[in-house]
Amino acid sequence: MVGQVNGVADTSGQPKIGVLALQGDFAEHIHMLGEIGICAVEVRKVEQLSEIDGLIIPGGESTTIVKLLGMFGFIDELHRHVDSGMALWGTCAGMIVIARDLADPYPTPLNLIDIGVARNYFGRQVDSFEAELEIDGMDGAPMRAVFIRAPIVQDTGDDVETLAVIPATDDGRPEQAVAVKSGRVLATSFHPELTEDTRLHTLFVQLAEEARTDASRRASLHHLTEETPSTV
């Protein structure tokens, strides 16, 4: 088993992945990453952002997550690290958190990916469902996706790639994007961590590996670390 150094996975030759552990289903993401050989770390302190190559913001309660991110000083540092090239993935509530704007009046999202999002698009908890999704660029069978009080992507910026959509329905619901990517930032409406399919987690590890080996990011990270030395 891979150990940890200063609270961060000691994965020589592997990207270091963190999962925001302030609220939500972070443990399920850590389990899925373990299934593909990545020993992820629970991120609870802003200083840990300097120690990782990629961060997952999990499903949970988006208003609570945004409030806690502000309370613990994450918001500005998240912008700085994502701008410097760190990989980021928001799932369900995490997608809401990192969106540009929302159809709803709250919470105020962080604008880390150029998408407009509508919360609880499919209805309440009792309206949860599963669907087979074709994921662009992903080999193999369609992915079984779990939607629980799920958001959808209403609009995307020019640099945002749509990876998966829910088809239009006979009752008039239009086709909607449910997985998007912009650079090293990934967002999904659904919960890949609640299945046994590790392909999206593998994709995110690849994005984090790009961040780990990016020379310009390493220079930016060195500058950020000098400004905000780690106390983890």
Comparing 231 with 103, which gets the higher pLDDT?
Answer: 103
Among this protein's residues, is 39 annotated catalytic? no
Determine the Cα–Cα distance for residues 149 and 30; give it in Å rounded to an integer: 22
Residue 12 has pLDDT above 80, yes or no: no
- List domains and CATH numbers for the chain: 4-227 (3.40.50.880)
Beta-carbon neighbour count of residue 130 at 10 Å? 14
Say which amino acid occupies 48. Q
pLDDT in tens, 51-104: 999 999 999 999 999 999 999 999 999 999 999 999 999 999 999 999 999 998
Question: Is 170 in contact with 101 (CB distance < 8 Å)?
Answer: no
Please give the pLDDT value at position 215.
86
Structure confidence at residue 1 as a pLDDT band (50, 70, 90): very low
The first and second tokens of residue 163, run together, are 């990876």
Is the pLDDT confidence value at 212 over 80?
Answer: yes
Tokens of 182: 């912009």
Residue 232 has pLDDT above 60, yes or no: no
CB atoms within 10 A of CB 101: 14
**Residue from 130, 193, 201, 223 carrying the catalytic annotation:** 193
Across 1-15, average pLDDT: 51
**Strand pairing of 152-156 and 161-166?**
unpaired
Which pLDDT belongs to residue 226?
A: 63
d(CA 180, CA 187): 5
- Given a cut of 70, whether residue 107 has pLDDT beyond it is yes
For 128-182, how does the pLDDT look when each residue is reduced to its tens digit (9 = 90+)? 789 999 999 899 999 999 999 899 999 999 999 999 999 887 777 788 999 999 9
Rounded-to-integer distance, Cα 135 and Cα 154, Å: 18
Which residue among 29, 81, 191, 201 is the active-site one?
191
- Catalytic one among 92, 161, 209, 222? 92
Cα–Cα distance measured from residue 85 to residue 210, given in angstroms and rounded to the nearest whole number: 9
Q: What was the pLDDT predicted at 225?
A: 62
* Residue 105, pLDDT score: 86
Query: Residue type for 194, please?
Result: L
The per-residue pLDDT for 201 is 97
Catalytic-residue membership of 92: yes
**40 touches 18 (CB < 8 A):** yes
Separation between Cα atoms, residue 7 and residue 27, nearest integer Å: 16
User: Could you tell me which residues are beta bridge partners of residue 188?
Assistant: 91, 179
